[in-house]
Chain A
Amino acid sequence: MTTASEAAASAGGLLLPVPDEDGAPFWEYAAQGELRVQACAACGRLRFPPRPCCPHCRSFDSEWRRMSGRGRIWSYVRPHPPLLPAYAAQAPYNVILVELADAPHIRLAGNLVTSADAPLDSVDPARLRIGARVHVVFTETGGMAVPRWVLEKS
């Protein structure tokens, strides 16, 4: 039996994000080409992943603050099969963790690619380096905008 959310989640082969209530705004802003992170409306501290309440001042009021979209690679892995079929087809690919330039402890998982719509294995593995500067781009897939990352021109 395939549920509606499972079908949606596997459109195009790769998994699509299934936003929860707290995460939905992130994906709505992504659809507008904006990288935004949840911030406390009371004390101003950023938090990720999004959640109902500020862990610092316990305020339930939040806003979504626009990020510059720049960051550095904090770490990365290169998954090899066995993997879900759509991922196995592109393996070994990279998954990177990007520490945002605007918010050092907010690290977004993503893929380093040569351009927004390029495959997950489009970057030469020799170019993967912790500390490398990257910036966000968005790719349209299955009706959602998913962030990907490209190397800054050095």
Chain B
Amino acid sequence: MAATLKDATAIVGIGQTAFAKRLPQSEKELACRAILAALADAGIEPSEVDAFASYTMEETDEVEVAKAIGAGDVTFFSKIGYGGGGSCATVGHLASAVATGQATVGVAWRSRKRGSGPRPWKNTAVQLPTPGQWTRPFGLLRPADEIGMLARRYMHEYGATRDHLFNVAMACRNRANANPAAMMYERPLTREMYMTSRMISDPLCLFDNCLETDGALACVIVSAERARDCRQKPVYVHSVAQGLPAQHHGMVNYWNDDPLSGPAWTAARHLWKQADFGPQDVDVAQIYDAFTPLIPLSLEGYGFCGRGEGAAFTEGGALETGGRLPINTGGGGLSEAYVHGFNLINEGVKQLRGVSTAQVPDAATCLVTAGEGVPTSAILLRS
């Protein structure tokens, strides 16, 4: 038997809660609501769930979730590290488990109260050891500072400008303006607003940063065979990959030979090697956007353009609907919700079902990526 994940499994259910700066429910309740919504979407009973996957930064665990939703015996569970880098790997791990017979119905989820909760970077005690001893005393405190350092160098090396970063912010905001579930629904962005907004970590301004969000999302994965009997049109998991490059250092990837060649490059090599199609065949992409510079870096890493060409790629409306590569069609982390990238997975599914609020006509292939700048993951979805 050929050991391949290619189209062996499918996402058959997606669910989400409201997205807001503050929600009254606990993370646990939000998780349960999103998971139950995803199962209802799939038409699968919660008692049939036998696999779970989430992020190591997820604070609700599978024991509590399984108990609350009334899952049956669980035979596979997995947690993936590195914050937003884990998003797509949750689907990848479940696809592997289902394809190899370790489980039959997998649920991946992320629940987060980042909008009303504490900011992780304020926890100075846990963040000072390696590599924090080399960065935090100098005031490199937040992810925006850490990525801002790479962004400045990228701009210097390749002539990227704040206008390029604006192109990214604008594409996400324009899609969110059409998405009633997005936090930035009906809240347009202009170039003037962008250029005059306050700096967070120069060169990154307010609009280069993702949203502070409370919310939860989940999806359901079953075998391709079982998917044919589900309520929704199956969205096949075509290829999956994780990426931790040699000599990588996480958010502060300052010490290898080439800090601008991040984990996207590593994940991409494996992702495309396992796929029947290439970057030129991708109809729509959901690219992890905790910060705008991650988009040009990812466009390069995943092979949509050459090294150093990611900023120029954003010109001429390329990322907009009808452009060369429409991205983050729900609004992404910048304008829909920042739930560690899980909304990008569900939006990819919506596109391939044909029900996105910014539908790309006849979209049949979608790339979804996880956090760039940390050990990452990615999936290729196809209808």
Q: Which of B142, B254, B256 contacts A79 (CB 8 A)?
A: B142
Residue contact B149 to A97, C-beta cutoff 8 Å:
yes
Q: How large is the interface on A (under 10, 10 to 19, 20 to 34, 35 or more residues)?
A: 35 or more
Q: Which of A9, A75, A106 contacts B128 (CB 8 A)?
A: A9
Residue contact A9 to B130, C-beta cutoff 8 Å:
no
Chain B residues with Cβ below 8 Å from A108 are 134
Residue contact A109 to B254, C-beta cutoff 8 Å:
yes
Residue contact A14 to B202, C-beta cutoff 8 Å:
no
A78 to B151, CA, bound (A): 12
Residue contact A92 to B132, C-beta cutoff 8 Å:
no
* B180 interfacial by beta-carbon distance below 8 Å: no
Q: Which of A27, A77, A109, A111 contacts B202 (CB 8 A)?
A: A77
* B135 interfacial by beta-carbon distance below 8 Å: yes
A111 to B203, CA, bound (A): 17
Residue contact A20 to B145, C-beta cutoff 8 Å:
no
* A32 interfacial by beta-carbon distance below 8 Å: no
Chain A: CB-nearest residue to B258:
A105
Chain B residues with Cβ below 8 Å from A19 are 133
* B65 interfacial by beta-carbon distance below 8 Å: no
Provided the pairs A77-B203, A107-B255 are in contact, do residues A95 and B138 lie with their beta carbons within 8 angstroms?
yes
Q: Which of B131, B136, B139, B200 contacts A120 (CB 8 A)?
A: B139
Provided the pairs A77-B152, A109-B140 are in contact, do residues A15 and B124 lie with their beta carbons within 8 angstroms?
yes
* B275 interfacial by beta-carbon distance below 8 Å: no
* A5 interfacial by beta-carbon distance below 8 Å: yes
Residue contact B137 to A93, C-beta cutoff 8 Å:
no
By secondary structure, the A interface counts as loop
Chain A residues with Cβ below 8 Å from B67 are none
Residue contact B200 to A80, C-beta cutoff 8 Å:
yes
Interface residues as binary, B134-158 with A (CB distance below 8 Å gives 1, 0 otherwise) = 1111111110110011101100100
Residue contact B141 to A14, C-beta cutoff 8 Å:
no
Residue contact A79 to B134, C-beta cutoff 8 Å:
no
Chain A residues with Cβ below 8 Å from B150 are 75
Residue contact A105 to B141, C-beta cutoff 8 Å:
no
B128 CB, min distance to chain A CBs, angstroms: 4
* B70 interfacial by beta-carbon distance below 8 Å: no
Residue contact A80 to B198, C-beta cutoff 8 Å:
yes
* 6 A/B residue pairs, CB under 8 Å, sorted by A: A17-B134, A77-B145, A79-B140, A79-B201, A83-B142, A92-B202
Residue contact B254 to A107, C-beta cutoff 8 Å:
yes
Q: How large is the interface on B (under 10, 10 to 19, 20 to 34, 35 or more residues)?
A: 35 or more
Point out residues on B near A: beta carbons under 8 Å.
119, 122, 124-125, 128-142, 144-145, 148-150, 152-153, 156, 198-204, 247, 249, 252, 254-257, 259
Residue contact A106 to B255, C-beta cutoff 8 Å:
yes
Interface residues as binary, A69-89 with B (CB distance below 8 Å gives 1, 0 otherwise) = 000001111111011100100
Q: Which of B128, B131, B141 contacts A83 (CB 8 A)?
A: B141
A102 to B142, CA, bound (A): 29
Chain B residues with Cβ below 8 Å from A93 are 139
Q: Which 8 pairs, one residue from A and one from B, show the smallest C-beta to C-beta distance?
A: A78-B202, A75-B153, A77-B148, A18-B128, A6-B125, A17-B133, A75-B152, A80-B199
Residue contact B138 to A111, C-beta cutoff 8 Å:
yes
Q: Which of B125, B128, B141, B198 contacts A87 (CB 8 A)?
A: B141
A148 CB, min distance to chain B CBs, angstroms: 8
A83 to B152, CA, bound (A): 20
A82 to B201, CA, bound (A): 10
Chain A residues with Cβ below 8 Å from B149 are 75-77, 95, 97, 109
A75 to B152, CA, bound (A): 6
Known: A6-B124, A20-B130. 10 other contacts (CB 8 A): A9-B124, A20-B129, A27-B133, A77-B202, A79-B200, A79-B202, A80-B199, A107-B255, A107-B259, A109-B140
Residue contact A10 to B124, C-beta cutoff 8 Å:
yes
Chain A residues with Cβ below 8 Å from B130 are 20, 22-23, 49
A5 to B126, CA, bound (A): 10
A150 to B309, CA, bound (A): 34
Residue contact B139 to A111, C-beta cutoff 8 Å:
yes
Residue contact A130 to B153, C-beta cutoff 8 Å:
yes
Q: Which of B142, B145, B202, B249 contacts A49 (CB 8 A)?
A: B249
Interface residues as binary, A1-37 with B (CB distance below 8 Å gives 1, 0 otherwise) = 0010110011000111111101100010000000000
